[in-house]
Amino acid sequence: LRLGILIASCWQFITSLMYVLDKPLFEHLLRHFTGGYCLWSRIAIGAVEMSGVLFGLLGIIGTWCSKPSYIASLNLWQIFRLAAWLFMYYTDVPLIMRCEDWVNAIQTMTDQHGWNPIMYDTALAGKCVSERSSFLAMSSVTFIVFAYIVNATSRYQAMVDRSPKHVLRLPKDPASGIFYAHPTGERSYLNGDYGTLEHAPPVRPGVAMPQ
C-alpha cells in the first residue's frame, strides 16, 4: 500500500513537472488521459498539474517518512483532482461527441462554443472516431485509477494514524520515584535482617537513614 502511493506520487510529480517545463509536449502525449479540448477544461487541468508539483513532492516525503499530516494534505488534493476531472468531462464530452460538426456545421459550433482549433483540426483530419474512442477509454481508466488512489491513500492514512499495539502507553500521572517497595519473599526479610545497614536501600547524602 505504501509503495503504491509512493509510486503514484512520483508519477504525479514527474507529469506535473513535464507540464510546467513543456506544456505542448504534455498535451500532445497525455490529452487522451487528461482531456483539455476546450479553454475551461485546460484551465482546470492546468491548475491540477501546476499544484501537482508541490503535492506530488509532499506525497513522496509523506509516504517515505510516514508523516500523517503530509499524507492527509495529499489526499485532499487528490479529491480536488477528481473534482477537476468531473468538470473536464462536463466541458469536453459535449465537444468530442459532436466532433464531426466542426466541419459539417462549423458556424453553429463556433456560435455555441467559440472557435476551437483543436476540434477543428481533429475533424478536418477525419480523426473524430479514433479521437473520441481514445479519449473516452483512456480518461475513464485514468479517473478510476485516481479514485482508487484516493481510497488507498485514505486507508494508508488511517494505518499511519493508528498507534501500534505494542507501544507502551505510560499513565499521565505516574507515581513519584521516592517511593519503593520490597517483596516479603526476599532472603533478607526471611532471615530477619531486613533494614540493617548491609541490606538497607542506599541513602542520599544529607538525608538521615530511618531507624
| Average pLDDT score over residue span 146-169 | 81
| Average pLDDT score over residue span 196-210 | 53
The more confident residue out of 137 and 164 is: 137
Residue where the block lists cell 482546470: 44
Q: What local confidence, expressed as pLDDT, does residue 31 receive?
A: 93
**pLDDT tens for each residue of 68-116:** 899 999 999 999 999 999 999 999 999 999 999 999 999 999 999 889 9
| Average pLDDT score over residue span 179-200 | 60
**DSSP run (H or E) holding 200:** none
Say which DSSP state 179 is in.
-
CA distances from 17 to 76, 91, 160 (A): 20, 25, 28
Question: Under 8 Å CB-to-CB from 195, ≥6 apart: which residues?
Answer: none
Can you tell me the distance from the alpha carbon of 75 to that of 146, in angstroms, rounded to the nearest whole number? Answer: 11
| Average pLDDT score over residue span 8-19 | 95
In this model, does residue 158 exceed pLDDT 70?
yes
In this model, does residue 194 exceed pLDDT 80?
no
Can you tell me the distance from the alpha carbon of 158 to that of 145, in angstroms, rounded to the nearest whole number? Answer: 20
**pLDDT tens for each residue of 106-144:** 999 999 988 999 999 999 998 999 999 999 999 999 999
Alpha helices in 162-199 (DSSP H): 187-191
Q: What local confidence, expressed as pLDDT, does residue 160 receive?
A: 84
Cβ of 182: how many Cβ atoms within 10 Å? 12
Largest CA distance in the chain: 111
Q: To the nearest whole percent, how much of the chain has pLDDT over 90?
A: 67
Q: What local confidence, expressed as pLDDT, does residue 161 receive?
A: 79
The more confident residue out of 80 and 184 is: 80
Q: What local confidence, expressed as pLDDT, does residue 164 receive?
A: 61
| This model's pTM is above 0.85 | no
Distance of CA 138 to the CA centre of its chain: 22
Q: What local confidence, expressed as pLDDT, does residue 79 receive?
A: 96
